[in-house]
Structure 1
């Protein structure tokens, strides 16, 4: 008889398998779940080489899967000046000055994390203060959402940006009252200055990515959907996988903007998790159809409440985008589309409606990333078309200081949805959008189930959009696996991969904000412990 490699015993097993109930043990072998049940039932799986871990009442969950993150951006955020939480333009510049003092004088300065909505003026910074501190050195500082970059005059002059420079399609050069570019470039305009800030080579990037992935695993994640794989991150992740050095699964979505000059036939091929050892795969292609609310780049049906001269930026018209979707789907790639504003979401759904008329494409399970504002008539179209809503509940908390003024009370009724998607029969997948938000599943859980943060303050959209604890857990496990097209993950079921997260408590039994944050005791990917819970090992159950 076949025996188990591991028996995880004396545990509270939350399997998310409707065929399993009241289980307290899991048998694992050859990277997969062999059986789930009682300690007594699983004794038959114990052989001479089986290790039995007594978990002392800890909770075993299907592995946490962050449905939307950015691995390279997260990893490199630790190599750049961190502007998250800066309280003003002055504070941000002072941070840059301190960081620059640690670098050779000729090295370009890059950073990320500023949010003008949290500053007293709530207006975009200008190049003037930055230029006075760095008159002869290139500086590029990305906004927290990655959809705008703040540069100094050295950069503007070097690339020839002036009063007469037109805004590119899908982008904007923010200008002062005199019409001159002020130093902030939004969305596609950012590409104008990218060549002044050469990327690190593979050897330089690799240790940062390896360290970043370890940090993600330490949060209890066993998988992430990496939204925006470029050629560099593809090479790094593939190399780490070949070396057996990935501590979690990475489901990659190729950044369509980074592969613009390459025909679809030349894209890295779609791959699947064929074994417990293969941890990096390519599932689809990530498109951007608009920008972000924080920089007023999200494409709205009507003008912003706090800027009546703009509706945001739509990247592609209906016909163009429909053809792009058709090209990648016919090549077997799952489409994942960034769409935040209600107009962008509407156009994407219209394109998908056209594209999905062709047989065979529906099985690719299209997903819309963020979907932060959705027209009431579009809500049920998600379910009708089989479109997954990939959402990040933390944004409803982080945007609370400014979103109401930006989009107005009426539009806010259709924004930051979660419960409404579930009630409409839409499949949801939950992520954090790291590094924009922390990749901590506990904080995401609070935002999803309590619609708040550790400070207990109300979000921009309140309690009516709370998810039940079970819906939140499904969204962070089975829902994320479903969205990524991974039928072998998402529940603790015989025959599925043994990807597990082990906590000190059962989150389904916690009550309100008074509950203590959970502790990650262990994680397992493909039957291999990434973090061993250090239970008592014995030879029998």
Structure 2
């Protein structure tokens, strides 16, 4: 007698086929795919009633702790000016004080806001403006791109830093403080479980986590505590590279008994971001004052040090993933990969020099991109990268050049929702606006594959990491892709979300 399967999916539609099919799932894989109605093994079954089954989706770039704590922070995304952002914090502080007076909250601790984008604000942040909100309670406002923060004097005292007149800390100085904020707000297992299950509800089966934390230890503990809705590739940053090498860890090594967590890549950040005007470019940013120390952006890690880190990691079996946003940063990173002759991933690749597209393909590089950033930043790019946006967020050009494309969110910078990324990549539009550089749109199949690690088929022998949809994403209106309902998600044949 044949062993009982883990699950049988009955009457499914699958890509590139006609009719309906039954899928037998066993030991985490698809054991067989047969025409619907044939005799099947007895066991648990799920009748899909003609719904569409596709490979499960991945988010190729997340900061999972940041995404998890975002819901606790004051929402600054609507702020249209520095004065507006300060007013939002003032209202939040008043609400917190009221809650404290009623005994339902604490009115003395750090108050954190998230999501401001100041690149197009008509006024400038200042230390005085936040001190006017509160000169006693620490306030920290995290930018939407995570690359800068706006603090008041009380926060500066708390964290032992000097606040400049504008109250803004950028890049390395801010990243160090952001790490302290993360420890203060450290989410628990229930928070991580809720965030993981919310991702599963959008068809996500796995994430690449680039949080600057001890992920190689944190994630196995989370899984042991019941955070089991996702597969996770856990990255290391340069400060933890020696430890990873000392432990003999290599990219792809399994880190937990259930096989959900694997060793990921070495994350290196070589420049800043567009919204903070620190992405390293060949041309200067417009409107900067004379004598600005970084008119073309910030070089966070020198090319020779990038090369040394990549070479050392690769020799130890740890693959590299290098953050490069500006065109000069991308050229430098591609130069490193070319000199070393090793494969790798360029994270973001937002602005690419015309001559560098072909090198992505020739060197076999992966461009890990976030399509929703193009929608968030189109006006910022038109202002600060004027005359260059024909090669900004250029997903079609990267694909045509032979690059491997991987789609992600950079959550919390954009939502941890692959359908948002797919919709943005396919339409290059949002909120009823005309498509932005429509020549850079990619096909639905290309976008779906880039969210599924290249998988486009549902075949016997594949991992039973699957998403079930009420509608065919190849047929729905492009605008509907962003909110496409998910009927079920399966991880290794185990439902992690079901709404059937």
Normalised by the size of structure 1, how large is the TM-score?
0.83
Q: Deviations over 1:90-126 (max 9, x none)?
A: 332233233332452331222211111354x0x5411
Distance 1:99 1:214, change over 3 A: farther
The residue aligned with 2:382 is 404
The residue aligned with 2:110 is 108
The residue aligned with 1:372 is 350
Distance 1:109 1:243, change over 3 A: closer
Q: Which of 440, 456, 466 in structure 1 is aligned with 2:432?
A: 456
* 1:265-344 to 2 correspondences below 5 Å: 265=246, 270-272=251-253, 277-307=258-288, 309=292, 310-344=295-329
* 1:14-29 to 2 correspondences below 5 Å: 14=15, 24-29=21-26
CA separation in 2, counterparts of 1:318 and 1:4? 52
CA separation in 2, counterparts of 1:505 and 1:419? 26
* 1:84-233 to 2 correspondences below 5 Å: 84-100=77-93, 101=96, 102=99, 103-117=105-119, 119=121, 121=122, 123-156=123-156, 181-191=165-175, 193=177, 197=181, 199-200=183-184, 205-231=188-214, 233=215
User: How much has 1:443 moved relative to structure 2?
Assistant: 2.0
The residue aligned with 2:458 is 492
- Is the Cα contact below 8 Å between 1:501 and 1:523 reproduced in 2? yes
Q: Deviations over 1:351-408 (max 9, x none)?
A: 111222xxxxx4xx41001000111111111111111001111111111222111011
- Is the Cα contact below 8 Å between 1:112 and 1:141 reproduced in 2? yes
User: How much has 1:514 moved relative to structure 2?
Assistant: 6.7
User: How much has 1:306 moved relative to structure 2?
Assistant: 4.0
CA separation in 1, counterparts of 2:197 and 2:213? 20
Asked if 1:247 corresponds to 2:223, the answer is: no
Normalised by the size of structure 2, how large is the TM-score?
0.89
Determine helix, strand or coil for the equivalent of 2:391.
coil
CA separation in 2, counterparts of 1:129 and 1:182? 9
- Is the Cα contact below 8 Å between 1:66 and 1:431 reproduced in 2? yes
Q: Deviations over 1:236-279 (max 9, x none)?
A: 3211222443211111112335x378574258664445999421
CA separation in 2, counterparts of 1:440 and 1:87? 25
Q: How many aligned positions are there? A: 486
CA separation in 2, counterparts of 1:239 and 1:185? 33
Q: Calculate the aligned-residue CA RMSD, in Å.
A: 2.7
Distance 1:194 1:511, change over 3 A: closer
User: How much has 1:209 moved relative to structure 2?
Assistant: 1.9
In structure 2, runs of 5+ residues without a counterpart are 100-104
User: How much has 1:187 moved relative to structure 2?
Assistant: 0.5
CA separation in 2, counterparts of 1:218 and 1:112? 24
User: How much has 1:229 moved relative to structure 2?
Assistant: 4.7
